[in-house]
Amino acid sequence: MISYTNLLLILAALVNFILGLTVYFYDRRNKINITFFILVLCTVQWIVSIYFLWNSTDPDIAFIWGKLSFFGPTLLPVVLIYFSYIFPNEIKKITLRRIILLLIPSIIVYVFVFSNLIINGVEIVKWGSNVKLASLFIVFPIYFLLYIFYGFYNLILQYKRNEGKWLERLQIKYLFFGFILSSILGLLLNVIMPIFGISTLVGLGPLTTVFLIVFTSYAIVKHQLFNIRVIATELLVGLVGLLLLFDVMSSKLPGLIALKSFILLVFIYFGYELIKSVLREIQRREEIEKIDRAKSEFISIASHQLRTPLTAVKGYISMVLEGTYGQLAEKLSKPLENVYQSNERLIRLVNDLLNLSRLDAGKIEFSPELTSLEEMVSGIVEELRINAKKKGLYMKMIKPSELLPKIMVDQDKIRQVILNIVDNAIKYTKEGGITFELKKLDEQEEIKVSDTGEGMDERELNSLFQMFSRATAGTQLHAEGAGLGLYVARQFIEMHGGKIWAESPGKGKGSAFIIQLPIKLDLKLIKEKTRIITKAPNDIF
Amino acid sequence: MAKKILLIEDEKILAEMYKDKFTEAGFEVFLALEAKEGLKLAKKERPDLIILDILLPRENGITFLTWLRKDSKIASIPVVAFSNYDDPATKREAAKLGVKEYLIKTNYTPSEIVAKIKQLLADER
């Protein structure tokens, strides 16, 4: 018959062992993971010794287990101190000399244990075993406490040195919490109560290590971005396996035992495969994330490098055009203006590529602010009026019949979208002009930009917002631009939960671009579309 | 009295270009090509505003900001990050370190950036 104490001990050993093994196998070369595994082995050794001490019927054998039950707990604080030196960062190199110095008292304690100076016998009683404390028992709790305080001190140092690093500090807090919980409970059950003659609960002492192991492994896991799902799967498989094992052990008929053993074996096999597949999947995902990070960093650096010469061209040409370097000959102003515009196009292309790569990686930032679309659009109209005028085009804005309420939009993105549309409109319109119209619908606000330009047929309209496609009018008239702008525009508008499309009555009849943006932002949708939101959601919504 | 601007910019062509423009606009401009030099000049000249590039040789703009904020004598000088390095995480870090704005260079002509800085200095008052 398996008692509750036994069941709890086996469970605790299993939980600790599985966690230790998982962390160890995640990164076998990492000092932190190896040290943690040794820590786990100490706790498991303790639990196993207590289990046999508790279940022995022979006092002599029980006494041996009683002595052995000090092995793990004596080594454990040394390992903990070492751990506190290296986790989450190595605060200072711990020398071999220091380790040896730390181990000498441990060895002395163990010599005391084997000289029967800590405990001097075990008495079998009906609830388990009663350990008889010897004259020098007090040495053990003093040793243990001193070492634990040393570990605490290191953790506090770690906490101080990791100022400003929230993740590291969080990890230390977890470790601290597990440390304290286990130490207090452990001391209570194994030291304080036996001193007062209550040994009935000594058997439960090792259970307290579960807190230390669970919190520490969680802290390591958080550091190494290790997926909690692996641990959950392993624990589940382990526990079901254990239940099946109990079931086998409690059966009496040989046929039934054979059948249940077979089920257990099959379960172990599939459980193993399950854990392996979860691990594989996570490793694959981590690799992808690593590549993703490298890619986005590369894009950021590359676009920086591309932009530097573009900035110089933009800056100097603009200054020449403004007359900073003296009166400009009229003959020169047109070509220089063309250089400036081409350079602007290149700048936009770099921006589009940067946006595209971020959209692709799902890493685009989204920072909505309360905005008046009317103000934004009239600002853009004023800004581009000169450009339109140069081409002999008019630019007008039809004000909305009712006041448009301010809505939450990412200003930079919406501005970029409108600029892109207007830029295209100017590009593809030979005569006439561009009209802006703003409207409030039931749940949306609408911006319509119509031109008297080339117009588009059905086929062109359909492929307009896809990557690398351009309406044929574009191909005939101009060869610049890779058609990324409208694709990015669509992504930006959809990110807001809005819609963008184009209409045209046909070739030569002009076209219109319509943007509809929701008056109320759907936060859930934005979270799905973007990974990062620049401001805390509470500030915005 | 002319307003003092400290420009920390490692790209010589751009540094000269902006320096010319700001000088023309009536500012007194101090130029540093890297973070350490920038910090020295900030302490010595106590500029009214710092225009800070982010990708610099050796210590970057973010490190410069942490130094600046730690030194109580110069910690309150307003800083505008002005860089072509358009990285969300860096922008967030800069914002945390209290930059007034993070501007992308290619989005501004020198005249536009001068106007922007004048506006910011007027708002500061």
Tens digits of pLDDT across chain A (541 residues):
457 778 888 888 888 888 888 888 877 888 888 999 999 999 999 999 988 888 888 888 999 998 998 999 899 999 999 988 888 877 677 888 988 999 999 999 999 998 988 888 888 877 677 788 888 888 988 998 899 899 889 888 888 888 767 777 888 888 888 888 888 888 888 778 877 877 777 777 788 888 888 888 878 776 565 566 777 787 788 878 878 887 887 788 888 889 889 998 999 999 889 888 887 887 888 788 788 778 777 888 888 888 999 999 999 999 999 888 888 888 888 899 889 988 988 888 888 888 887 777 666 777 778 888 888 888 888 878 877 887 889 988 888 887 888 888 888 889 889 988 888 888 888 889 999 999 888 888 999 999 998 888 887 777 787 765 444 544 443 334 446 788 888 888 988 889 999 998 888 888 999 999 998 877 666 666 554 444 333 333 2
Contact A150/B at CB under 8 A: no
Beta bridge partners of A446: A439, A516
User: How many Cβ pairs within 8 Å bridge chains A and B?
Assistant: 64
Beta bridge partners of A369: A409
The position carrying tokens 């002595």 is: A67
Nearest CA in chain A to B103: A412
Cβ within 8 Å, pair A300-B86: yes
pLDDT, residue A228, reads 66
- 3-class DSSP assignment, residue A294: helix
Contact B23/A at CB under 8 A: no
pLDDT, residue A251, reads 81
What is the distance between the alpha carbons of residues A128 and A123, in angstroms, rounded to a whole number? Answer: 9
List of residues 6+ apart from A505 with CB closer than 8 A: A455
Q: Quick one: A420 exposed, middle or buried, by C-beta within 10 A (0-12, 13-18, 19+)?
A: buried
Cβ within 8 Å, pair A312-B13: yes
Six-digit token string for A214: 């669970």
Residue A167 CA, chain-centre distance (Å), reads: 11
- In CATH, what number does A4-224 get? 1.20.1070.10
Partner residue opposite A318 with nearest CB, options B20, B86, B109? B109
Q: Are strands A511-518 and A499-503 parallel, antiparallel or unpaired?
A: antiparallel
Cβ within 8 Å, pair B17-A310: no
Six-digit token string for B60: 């970057």
Closest-CA distance, B59 to chain A, in angstroms, reads 16
| Domain range A365-540, CATH class | alpha beta
Nearest CA in chain B to A534: B92
- Cα-only R_g, chain A: 36
A478: left (phi over 0), alpha (psi -120 to 50) or beta: beta
Question: A residues 37-76 near B, CB within 8 Å?
Answer: none
What is the distance between the alpha carbons of residues A482 and A463, in angstroms, rounded to a whole number? Answer: 14
Closest-CA distance, B102 to chain A, in angstroms, reads 13
Q: Give the number of residues written for chain B.
A: 125
Partner residue opposite A311 with nearest CB, options B14, B21, B87? B14
Nearest CA in chain A to B113: A315
Partner residue opposite A324 with nearest CB, options B18, B24, B92? B24
Closest-CA distance, A333 to chain B, in angstroms, reads 17
Nearest CA to B7 among B46, B53, B40?
B53
Partner residue opposite B85 with nearest CB, options A300, A324, A532? A300
| DSSP secondary structure letter of residue A208 | G
Nearest CA to A521 among A420, A407, A414?
A407
- 3-class DSSP assignment, residue A241: helix
Contact A340/B at CB under 8 A: no
Nearest CA to A222 among A23, A446, A488, A5?
A23
Cβ within 8 Å, pair B11-A308: yes
Contact A211, A182 (CB under 8 A): yes
Nearest CA to A206 among A16, A486, A491?
A16
Q: For residue A308, which residues of chain B lie inside 8 Å, CB to CB? A: 11, 14, 84, 105
| DSSP secondary structure letter of residue A117 | S
Question: What is the maximum span of chain B, computed from C-alpha positions, in angstroms?
Answer: 38
Best of A311, A339, A351, A355 to mutate (most B CBs within 10 Å, chain B)? A311
What is the distance between the alpha carbons of residues A208 and A210, in angstroms, rounded to a whole number? Answer: 5
Contact B53, B25 (CB under 8 A): no
Closest-CA distance, B85 to chain A, in angstroms, reads 5
Six-digit token string for A90: 């190595």
Residue B124 has pLDDT above 80, yes or no: no
Which phi and psi angles does A320 have, rounded to 5°?
-60, -45
Best of A308, A339, A415 to mutate (most B CBs within 10 Å, chain B)? A308
Partner residue opposite A311 with nearest CB, options B21, B55, B105? B105
| Domain range A295-361, CATH class | mainly alpha
Cβ within 8 Å, pair B86-A310: no
- Distance set, CA B78 to CA A447, B6, B70 (Å): 37, 11, 14
Closest-CA distance, B23 to chain A, in angstroms, reads 12
- Cα-only R_g, chain B: 13
For residue A71, give the amino acid letter.
F
pLDDT, residue A75, reads 93
pLDDT, residue A363, reads 66
Beta bridge partners of A370: A408
Best of B70, B84, B103 to mutate (most A CBs within 10 Å, chain A)? B84
pLDDT, residue A529, reads 58
What is the distance between the alpha carbons of residues A113 and B107, in angstroms, rounded to a whole number? Answer: 76
Beta strand spans in A412-473 (E): 433-440, 444-451
List of residues 6+ apart from A430 with CB closer than 8 A: A453, A454
What is the distance between the alpha carbons of residues A380 and A373, in angstroms, rounded to a whole number? Answer: 11
Cβ within 8 Å, pair B110-A297: no
Contact A292/B at CB under 8 A: no
- In chain A, domain spans: 4-224, 295-361, 365-540
Contact B97/A at CB under 8 A: no
Q: For residue B18, which residues of chain A lie inside 8 Å, CB to CB? A: 315
Closest-CA distance, A416 to chain B, in angstroms, reads 11
| DSSP secondary structure letter of residue A191 | I
What is the distance between the alpha carbons of residues B4 and B29, in angstroms, rounded to a whole number? Answer: 6
- Distance set, CA A11 to CA A15, A47, A241, A428 (Å): 6, 10, 11, 74
Best of A166, A304, A419 to mutate (most B CBs within 10 Å, chain B)? A304
Cβ within 8 Å, pair A534-B88: yes
Which phi and psi angles does A394 have, rounded to 5°?
-90, 165
Contact B65, B97 (CB under 8 A): yes
Contact B49, B117 (CB under 8 A): yes
For residue A165, give the amino acid letter.
K
Q: For residue B86, which residues of chain A lie inside 8 Å, CB to CB? A: 300, 303-304, 354
Nearest CA to A133 among A181, A83, A63, A74?
A63
Cβ within 8 Å, pair A316-B17: yes
Q: Quick one: A494 exposed, middle or buried, by C-beta within 10 A (0-12, 13-18, 19+)?
A: middle
Tell me what the mean pLDDT of segment B96-117 comes to: 90
Contact A349/B at CB under 8 A: no
Question: B residues 31-90 near A, CB within 8 Å?
Answer: 55, 83-88
pLDDT, residue A318, reads 92
Closest-CA distance, B39 to chain A, in angstroms, reads 22
Q: List the Cα angle A513/A519/A525 in 5-degree steps.
A: 90
Sign, CA dihedral A484-A489-A495-A501, equals negative
For residues B70 and A531, the model is more confident at B70
Contact A488, A359 (CB under 8 A): yes
Cβ within 8 Å, pair A315-B110: yes
Nearest CA to A342 among A481, A482, A486?
A481
Q: For residue B70, which residues of chain A lie inside 8 Å, CB to CB? A: none
What is the distance between the alpha carbons of residues B45 and B6, in angstroms, rounded to a whole number? Answer: 9
Residue A528 CA, chain-centre distance (Å), reads: 15
What is the distance between the alpha carbons of residues A419 and A381, in angstroms, rounded to a whole number? Answer: 9
